[in-house]
Chain A
């Protein structure tokens, strides 16, 4: 019955097909729900602190309000024909078997209420079209199951009308926030990012100290002084990166990679102390206003520091917000150098440098790794890199192949636009949701297990702070070490040869220009 047997005698047992459809286990995840936000978390974001007395009225009105402000929400509430194409596409369904985690069923939790109050059939023949009243039970069900959606949009790839469950789930969360039922994890973090500048609540002083330590580490390792500047006015590039890159493993090794690439490319750059966060959790709670406020911090930092370019570090949903929404939320960016993409992804920057032949690598430095690459959902389905569709798939792979010798692809049905979410995205990366996180990760872990069996893959690279944290946490439950997940720029950092770098005791490496490797 279980998809993943955690208590097998020889460790966890896997079902060989990552996309195997489970038997329905009705309401098996009904008890999964994140901690609710405290009143002060909600109020900081402009929401009521606690559940309103007239919450039904307010929630129903909010459905209509959102439907009139968001075409996707309106059309997606109407257009579903229940064909069933999406039913086996959600990683949380594949991992849990709970039918309410099938995308269409998740949408129907809200659609049934929309029908009851906003459609002819639902008003007069509710039993006919599955319409239902908005009761406290329904609200609790929303809170549970709309926090079992990572808004990864895998279902939207497969829907014949492009119905995007993320749009429904974001709207549902906004409706819940509007009546005073917020999620602690997201709302607390948004408050911190707005107030202090990053999701971790890392103050400027601590940030500077951390980055100075890192500079020392790099110098100890390479003998080269590589800077990680903070609030440096007049720098060319403002780096906006997830704050996990300053603190968490394996993220921090990625940050070292960016610093080395910038150093070797010879550009001046800086991070901002108060826009020290790429993540934008306003997306997760579906709040345009909060997402906009967070995005405007970045614009302000770019203006204050007088930079010419904005580059984003490795973060999935942050890159979606940056690539797809930043121009909308905080544009127009006439004051930046129009010769570069606004904003630019660090991988676009690095790949461009590699193509120009500005970076030298010793690929053997990564020979102890046998690698695969996990496409992060928001990068894959919510953004692009480079100037051609699909660049978001090619550029990270090009960079990996330029710095590593042993690279293998996972099952094509689980990569690129069909990639599986890590299980921790969309505001679920909190310990109170660990059960659903592990279940949601199991399809990806099965796909990884396949390439481990077939090609001896030992490590997986990713370009998303949430993916990295999630995998570091759940991989041990699937028989991998917690450091089996790596930043792509960690691989770059391992292999890059800085000018003047001291060589270690290893035999003199064969220097190779990456672009001669035929990596594309």
Chain B
């Protein structure tokens, strides 16, 4: 079992890193032929940095759009961020001071994460318009994340696993050794689902994460009268 999970995590990590890297490289290489920022837009690069920060940190456009989706989406993402930061403690030794500092927040953030996911799931089922646009994968993605959250919370709050051994296992993976992984059901489910998430990340809608940084309506500067913008393939037309 330990070997199986070790191989699974090596595979998942490669898929995530390479898949995401290739995708980001594709976005970065693809030219944007025209200036299409959604106006009013910042006229400077620092203004764009501020606009993008608001989008990424507080989901500004979503807030303007729909308060319910914002509330649940925000709870989920902030919860997930804190939980992920907390999880650093299983991969590093000695533990960085800020990981200790974030630990108590990370534990309770799991509830925010779970409530957010359940809220999004309920809306997807109950709101007619959102049900209409949902594919099986949209539900499964939420269920996958809910599964990760529930199995993790079960280990934290109800049936603790041998977390020291888990850490030894992952520190071992980082040094290309395979150590014994505890076989508690929650742990195996949790890790299996996490690996699944890592594998599908670069080939699914989870690409919205890197995608927003390459969204011309958000990252472009409003300066088209002052500065000529020309894509390489468009420059060819001028020859």
User: CB within 8 Å of B: which residues of A?
Assistant: 21, 23-24, 67-72, 74-76, 78-89, 99, 102, 104-105, 108, 119-121, 127-130, 153, 156-164, 167, 288-289, 292, 323-325, 327-328, 331-332, 341-343, 380-384, 388-390, 392-393, 417
> Could you tell me the distance in whole angstroms from the C-beta of B72 to the nearest C-beta in chain A?
10
Contacts of A88 in B (CB 8 A): 129
Given known A-B contacts A87-B133, A325-B224, A71 and B62 have beta carbons under 8 A apart: no
Query: Interface of B with A (CB < 8 Å)?
Result: 23, 26-27, 30-36, 38-43, 55, 59, 61-62, 64-66, 69, 73, 120, 123-124, 127-130, 132-138, 140, 200, 203-205, 207-208, 211-212, 214-218, 222, 224-225, 227-231, 233-234, 237
A325 vs B35: C-alpha distance when bound (angstroms):
7
Partner of B65, one of A72, A89, A102, A323: A89
Q: Is the interface of B mostly helix, strand, loop or mixed?
A: helix
Cβ–Cβ contact A72 & B237, under 8 A = no
Question: Which residues does chain B contribute within 8 Å of A323, judged by CB atoms?
Answer: 224-225
Contact A24 B222 (CB under 8 A): no
Q: Which of A23, A79, A84, A157 contacts B133 (CB 8 A)?
A: A84
Please name all residues of chain A whose beta carbon is closer than 8 Å to the beta carbon of B217 when the two chains form the complex. 72, 153, 156, 162-164
Residues of chain A within 8 A (CB-CB) of B204 are 121, 129
A149 to chain B, nearest CB (A): 15
> Closest 5 A-B residue pairs measured CB to CB?
A79-B211, A130-B135, A389-B40, A158-B65, A162-B217
User: Could you say which residues of chain A place their CB within 8 Å of the CB of B43?
Assistant: 388-389
Cβ-defined contact, A292 with B137, below 8 A: no
Distance in angstroms between the alpha carbons of A87 and B214 in the assembled complex: 23
Tell me the complex Cα distance, A76–B32, Å.
12
Q: How far is the CB of A491 from chain B (nearest CB, A)?
A: 24
* Chain B residue nearest in CB terms to A380: B39
Contact between chains at B237 and A69 (CB < 8 Å): no
Min CB distance A64 to B, Å, is: 12
Expressed in whole angstroms, the Cα–Cα distance for A83 and B215 within the complex equals 17
- B237 pairs with A289, CB closer than 8 A: yes
User: Which residue, of B27, B123, B135, B138, has the highest number of chain A Cβ atoms within 10 A?
Assistant: B135
| 18 residue pairs bridging A and B, Cβ less than 8 Å apart | A24-B129, A69-B30, A70-B30, A70-B33, A72-B36, A78-B211, A80-B205, A81-B208, A82-B134, A102-B133, A159-B65, A160-B61, A160-B73, A162-B38, A292-B234, A325-B224, A389-B40, A389-B41
